[in-house]
Amino acid sequence: MNWFIYAFLCALFLSASSVLEKRALRRVHAMDFAASLSIVQLICSVPFLFFFNFSELSGLLLLYIFISALFSAIAFFLVIKGTRHLEVSTVYPLLALSPGSTALLAFLVLGETLSRVQSLGIIFMVIGSYMLTIEPGKKILDPLKVFLQSRYIHLVLLSLMFYSIGAIFDRTILYSFSTAIPLYMFFLYFFMAILFISISGIFGVGLRGIREGFQKGGSDLFLVALLSVGSRMFEMQAIQVANVGLVSAVKRVSSFFTTVIGGEIFHEHNLKRKIIASFIIVAGTFLVVL
């Protein structure tokens, strides 16, 4: 199957997962949701145990997977923290900037090249993200104040760095180590579950919070787990054969679907402008793909 199809399936699964996450986060605290979700994701990944050979494991490989899980866990928590307090039509277009940051990081670390068209795509992403925070009747420089003052936008933008670094580790694990995707998937979620349960015990309310996550998250929690594991699996299939920057670009097309669908479902403000901004960002992602 063509890498683009895998990446597009990743985008569809991610968009559905994002909308359900927002709905669940209206009832559940971010930490409780993250910890309980990580447990369900680990359960969903158990079948992967039957599709790889344990002889492939090494201490160095497990270390790389742990580091990837650490960056993924931090990025995910920052996003759901922002999602709980911001409109979904604001958060997910901002996440569409990640192909630009990933492509730049891949250029610096992996030596993957950026063409002029791809550079133009990154500029489109910046313009679109700027439009997201322009309110009717406000001055053109007002979005700068929003970016500087909004703690939750800062969290979402910070998550881009962690997502980008995690994507570099993903590519290294799958390409340089020739790691089987089932092996990677199981241990990724194994380490993420350990991390979130530990963090919940230290900074949250521990088992009580996890129990509330299951109770209040309900069926949404299980659907998000299935969709997110499926999305990650498709993403890894694409990354195994394609440039990590290109895969990230197609993956973030999900931001457009999430903005349109999530914005309508949750009756969010200034939705038309946000859809236009999201479309500009998505256009930028396709320029990055080209």
The pLDDT tens digits for 138-171 are: 555 555 565 566 677 778 778 878 887 887 788 8
153: its two tokens: 């936008």
Residue 149 neighbours by CB under 8 Å, 6+ apart:
none
Write down the mean pLDDT value for the chain.
78
Side-chain-side CA neighbours of 92 within 13 Å: the count stands at 31
Residue 219 neighbours by CB under 8 Å, 6+ apart:
none
Q: Which residue has the tokens 């579950």?
A: 193
Q: Which of 127, 125, 112 is nearest to 167 (CA)?
A: 112
**Residue 243 to residues 116, 117, 153, 163, 252, Cα–Cα distance (Å):** 17, 16, 28, 16, 15
Least confident stretch, 64-78, 140-154, 164-178, 238-252: 140-154
269: its two tokens: 């403000």
pLDDT at 153: 77
**Residue 188 to residues 70, 229, 243, Cα–Cα distance (Å):** 9, 10, 21
pLDDT at 192: 93
Q: Which residue has the tokens 């990154």?
A: 122
The DSSP symbol for 49 reads G
How far apart CA 268 and CA 260 sit, in angstroms, is: 10
Residue-range domain boundaries for the chain: 3-289
CB atoms within 10 A of CB 57: 14
The pLDDT tens digits for 17-68 are: 888 888 888 888 888 888 899 999 999 999 998 888 888 788 899 999 999 9
Q: Which of 74, 84, 246, 251 is nearest to 161 (CA)?
A: 74
98: its two tokens: 């990640």
pTM of this prediction?
Answer: 0.78
First to last CA, the chain: 19
pLDDT at 157: 77
Q: Dihedral, CA atoms, 221, 95, 179, 105, nearest 10 degrees?
A: -160
pLDDT at 265: 63
Strand locations in 126-279 (E) = none
